[in-house]
Amino acid sequence: MKKILLIALLCVGLALAVKAQAPQQFNYQGAARNANGTPLANKNISIRISILDASATGTAQYSEVRNVITNALGLYAIAIGSAGATSVSGTIGAVTWASGLKFVKVEIDPDNGFNFNLAGTAQLLSVPYALYAANGPIGPKGDTGATGPAGAQGIAGTVGAQGPIGLTGASGTPGPVGATGATGLQGLPGVAGAKGDKGDIGPVGPSTGVAGGDLTGNYPNPTIANLQGKY
């Protein structure tokens, strides 16, 4: 392949579309010319576009390859990040636009292959709409979204250590005396006691003489003696 110096003219306005929801792509225009400055007109060429982080030699955060056809002036236009790219590395959405500078590197193969030559690297700059979006008025607050489903129940935590025993509380006020209960039923009669022992014989009374008696105290007629009370 003959040695050709390719020149890519970067479009002054890399159009980053600004809408309610920004699409994950942006427009890019360039021109392919040979070393003499002659446009590569109406020609199938391969272009590799890379988004570099921080500097013109920084790490590529996104890269894609496209086959395009130039017009009569060697111009071409593509939407970086749109469908139709091959050999894609990374995503436009993953580019850290909010931190550090970003650069676009363009490589071209005029024979529509993969033998790429560096055509140029340029810093990506803001367009007026993007500047307005960064500093414009805050829009109205949107409606509250629907409540999401309840998450799964978490694992139960470990049982905590037992706390110290609390102080003994003060004694309560004594309650009122209760009413006197009803008289209980009379108990059953007790068992009769055992029979006592026979008592001793009493002393003999004084002796008095009575007619009709003998010396032994016997009376011939006891009935009469008893009636008289004499023995």
pLDDT at 202: 77
- Rounded to two decimals, the pTM is 0.52
Buried b (16+ CB within 10 A) or exposed e, 135-151: eeeeeeeeeeeeeeeee
Q: How many domains does the chain have?
A: 1
| Tokens, residue 177 | 């005396």
| Tokens, residue 64 | 């894609």
Rounded CA separation 15/98 (Å): 17
In a domain, 125, yes or no: yes
In a domain, 101, yes or no: yes
Rounded CA separation 178/117 (Å): 111
- DSSP letter string over 22-41? --S-EEEEEEEE-TTS-B-T
pLDDT at 132: 66
CATH number for the domain that contains residue 43: 2.60.40
Provide the domain limits for residue 15: 7-135
pLDDT at 196: 81
CB 56 within 8 A of CB 103: yes
In a domain, 161, yes or no: no
Q: Identify any residues that bridge with 32 across adjacent strands, giving them in sequence order.
A: 8
CB 62 within 8 A of CB 36: no
In a domain, 222, yes or no: no
CB 6 within 8 A of CB 70: no
pLDDT tens string, the chain, 231 residues long: the values are 444 444 444 443 444 443 445 678 889 999 998 878 889 999 999 999 999 999 999 999 999 999 999 999 999 999 999 999 999 999 988 999 888 899 999 999 999 999 999 989 999 887 766 766 666 677 788 889 999 999 899 899 899 899 899 898 888 888 898 888 888 888 888 888 888 888 888 787 776 544 444 445 554 555 544 444 444
CA nearest neighbour of 4 among 49, 40, 30: 40
